[in-house]
Chains A and B, each alone.
Chain A
Amino acid sequence: MFPDELKYTKTHEWAKMEENTDVVIVGITDHAVKQLGDIAFLELPEAGNKIKKDSPFGAIESIKAVFDLTSPVTGEVIETNQQITDNLELLNTDPYEQGWMIKIKIENKNEFESLMNASVYEGFLNEKGEEH
């Protein structure tokens, strides 16, 4: 089960609109965390960086494999979660709250609205035959 209040991407990021703002918080789903296994390194952008929907915003390494983190929306990074870069375990224990990665001030709310909701994301994983 994935939190209903979040939106999801096919590359397993989640996105949450902060109430009454144009800021979207982004992280990776617990499905992604489980698939990655033992996460060793994380690279996040600095505040002020501009990022584009469907483009990489960072990278993560597990089992010596490096993966891109893909932005669900276009906008400017206004904050990164310093806590997780020092404590990657938070991605395992609390991927949807303390494990958030970046906050993005978005340009186009439609990009956020067009992301998958929880049930569609779950269906997408089922279609791929992936456990969740």
Chain B
Amino acid sequence: MKWRLIRSGFLNGYTNMAIDEVMFIHKITQDVPSTLRLYGWDPPAISIGYFQKAEDIKFDKKIDIVRRMTGGGAILHDKELTFCLVAPIKNSVIPEKVFNSYNAICQAIVNGLTFLGINAQIRGKVKTSLSKNNQPFFCFSRPSSSDILFKGKKLVGSAQRRKNGILMHHGSILLDDQNLNGATSINAILQREIKFEEISNAIIQGFEKEFSIKLVPSDLTECETKLSRQLEKTKHLT
């Protein structure tokens, strides 16, 4: 089975969120292939989860703030590989149920990391003593069943959106340390600075192996590009 692979390189936060949203809307309304998009952030930005409030961010530097369509906590996107997967909820490779789908997608990432010699694990079900209102604001400071860990420290965070039969899954892979308690990064594990290309290739291999799919390098359609520019201006920049 062939999926579309979009490698966007480094873009600003508004553009990144607009492209993901358009891919998602397009998948709901048009017959486009399931897609894995890989990207970085320039300049760095903070994304907040669908239900979070921008005024709750405590960050002392001026930075772009964007809202994701997916849930979960805020993320400071700096040296990071982000992926956005868009596919029908019912498809032949990812289980339909939420918990199981997280597991399958996280397993693809774990597979990818093994190509770099990193032996990571999925955290699995967690019970937290914190109430919902007392959860840390930032994703990498809060434990979740879908976390990918290395030696007990969080390396990858994930979140989803489900709408009209379509699944969007966001994942953030930390490439460099952010001095967060309980988190680690690819560079810290490998003791060297990984190239964006190298981690991207490993993750692509991980998805291809886990789901027996072929990721075909592609571009956004003309319509997606046009719509994402519009959405960036009308929604994400306002």
B-contacting residues of A (Cβ < 8 Å)? 35-37, 40-41, 43, 56, 59, 61-68, 88
Contacts and interface: CB of A to CB of B under 8 A. Distances in A.
- Most chain B beta-carbon neighbours within 10 Å: one of A40, A56, A62: A40
26 contacts: A35-B97, A35-B98, A37-B98, A37-B99, A40-B135, A41-B71, A61-B50, A61-B51, A62-B71, A63-B102, A63-B160, A64-B49, A64-B146, A64-B158, A64-B160, A65-B70, A65-B71, A65-B102, A65-B160, A66-B50, A66-B51, A66-B159, A66-B162, A67-B163, A68-B162, A88-B132
Q: Give the contact-size bracket for chain B.
A: 20 to 34
Judged by DSSP, the binding face of A is: strand
A68 B70 CA distance: 12
Kindly name the residue among A40, A41, A59, A66 whose own CB sees the greatest number of chain B CB atoms within 10 A. Answer: A66
Main secondary structure of the interface of B (DSSP, over half): loop
A65 B158 CA distance: 9
B205 to A, nearest CB: 26
B160 A66 contact: yes
B132 A41 contact: yes
A56 B146 CA distance: 27
A88 to B, nearest CB: 7
Contact of B162 (A37, A41, A65): A65
